[in-house]
Amino acid sequence: MSEHSGSMTVMLVAGARPNFMKIAPVQKALHKAGHRTVIVHTGQHYDDRMSASFFRDLDIREPDHHLGVGSATHAVQTARVMESFEPVLLETRPDWVLVPGDVNSTIACALVCVKLKEETGTRLAHLEAGLRSNDWRMPEEVNRVLTDRCSDLLLIPSQDAADNLAAEGIDQSRVVFIGNVMIDTLLDRLPAAQELGVPAQMGLSPGRFVVATLHRPSNVDDREKLKTCLAGFAAIAQDHPVVLPLHPRTRKRIEAFGLGDSLAPLRVTEPLGYIEMLSLVDAAAAVLTDSGGVQEETTALGVPCVTLREQTERPITIEQGTNRLAPWPLTVAGIREAHDAAIRQGRVSAGECSPEGWDGRAAERAVDALAR
Ligand code: UD1
């Protein structure tokens, strides 16, 4: 513990786009409770639209440390984060390091932290612990399993995560249910998103367009699979506009595979800021995605979602929420069919099918767990 009795120093790690909305509410809740935070940005994502715009939209203060690792192969990216994070941890020696999600920055900082534990006394907490796709080919699954194994405190977003961790023999005393911190951010920013009115700015009528996102290596790194997804979106675009904010990885692959023409039927945009994306998704008839976070956001908003993957590490969004898997392997007809079913299902009001603890107070529960 730090000099002030009862006050802790918590180092928050963020590296890639899906991390920023998770650390934002935790940072605020820590400050409110009188604790000190140190923000480390690994620089895994570095473009303004993939990173800085989120800091602005979510009121996250400037990082205290910027590691600037950038893009590289998995080994090089992970190694660079480890190499540059080690001196920062040794210098700061916080009470806790908090790593969110499942990106390469998460496992890299987790490994550094656990290996220095004897020396620094710093404990490791994993935010969004216990999710499992059971698909070991996914880099994120490897990151999730190993980060959980290294962590002193596992903060879980849904009860299914507790079963996954128990099945791996992880001691239940390390596991604390807090709910979903991403939904804290969503509920906080929803009024601003609705006021922004991105659909109207784009000439789209609420409930009469679809939003699609695509970036998983398993969908975009193979030419035929990527072509199938884009053709599926084009088939849907015959009914209503399909907006596709294009991830940099996907844009690069489309160019490399010569698939530029497949984008013609779609409303392609640059990656959107957090509030812009929320404004669009909230007013969509349905969303097609291979993102993890979007599956949760659509469930919280009550918007039907089709997940373009073989399985999901977020099954609660299917059991309780608005999510469904497209038939696997993906085909144009299968994507179309799953979209039609989602449209028939229709939307429900925000919060109507939200799982327990997706209530805007998950970050407060995270702080309580760290302080205990
Ligand atoms: C990473 C995460 C993934 C997460 C996704 C969200 C891992 C293993 N994967 O995948 O879990 O869902 O982020 O976006 O950590 N690029 C840019 N600008 C940027 C960032 C990336 O142009 O700001 C380009 C890179 O040059 C690279 C590609 O996008 O070619 C992929 O970036 P990378 O961070 O390696 O993985 P993502 O596919 O984004």
The domain ranges of the chain are 9-180+357-371, 197-345
Whole-number Å distance between alpha carbons of 237 and 297: 23
Q: What's the pTM value of the predicted model, to 2 decimals?
A: 0.97
Task: Please give the distance, rounded to the nearest whole angstrom, from the Cα atom of residue 271 to the centre of ligand 1.
Answer: 12
Domain 197-345 has CATH 3.40.50.2000: yes
Task: Cite the active site residues.
Answer: 215
Instruction: Check pocket membership of 293 for ligand 1, CB cut-off 6 A.
Output: no
Q: Is there a contact between 174 and 357 (Cβ–Cβ < 8 Å)?
A: no
Instruction: Check pocket membership of 309 for ligand 1, CB cut-off 6 A.
Output: no
Which long-range contacts link 54-57 to residues 24+ away (Cβ below 8 Å)? 54/17, 54/20, 54/21, 54/273, 54/274, 55/20, 56/273, 57/189, 57/273, 57/274, 57/275
Whole-number Å distance between alpha carbons of 82 and 292: 25
Assigned superfamily of 9-180+357-371: Glycogen Phosphorylase B; (3.40.50.2000)
Name the DSSP class of 36. E
Q: Is there a contact between 286 and 64 (Cβ–Cβ < 8 Å)?
A: no
- What does the pLDDT profile of the chain (372 residues) look like in tens digits? 444 458 999 999 999 999 999 999 999 999 999 999 999 999 999 999 999 999 999 999 999 999 999 999 999 999 999 999 999 999 999 999 999 999 999 999 999 999 999 999 999 999 999 999 999 999 999 999 999 999 999 999 999 999 999 999 999 999 999 999 999 999 999 999 999 999 999 999 999 999 999 999 999 999 999 999 999 999 999 999 999 999 999 999 999 999 999 999 999 999 999 999 999 999 999 999 999 999 999 999 999 999 999 999 999 999 999 999 999 999 999 999 999 999 999 999 999 999 999 999 999 999 999 999
Same fold, 9-180+357-371 and 197-345: yes
Atom of ligand 1 nearest to the CA of 105: 15
Give the count of beta carbons closer than 10 Å to the beta carbon of residue 54: 24
Task: Please give the distance, rounded to the nearest whole angstrom, from the Cα atom of residue 249 to the centre of ligand 1.
Answer: 6
Top mutation candidate among 45, 106, 145, 220 for ligand 1, by most atoms within 8 Å of CB: 45
Instruction: Check pocket membership of 46 for ligand 1, CB cut-off 6 A.
Output: yes
Nearest-CA residue for ligand 1 atom 37 is 249
pLDDT at 109: 99
Give the pair of three-digit tokens for residue 40. 């480390």
Instruction: Check pocket membership of 104 for ligand 1, CB cut-off 6 A.
Output: yes
Atom of ligand 1 nearest to the CA of 16: 13
The residue count for the chain = 372
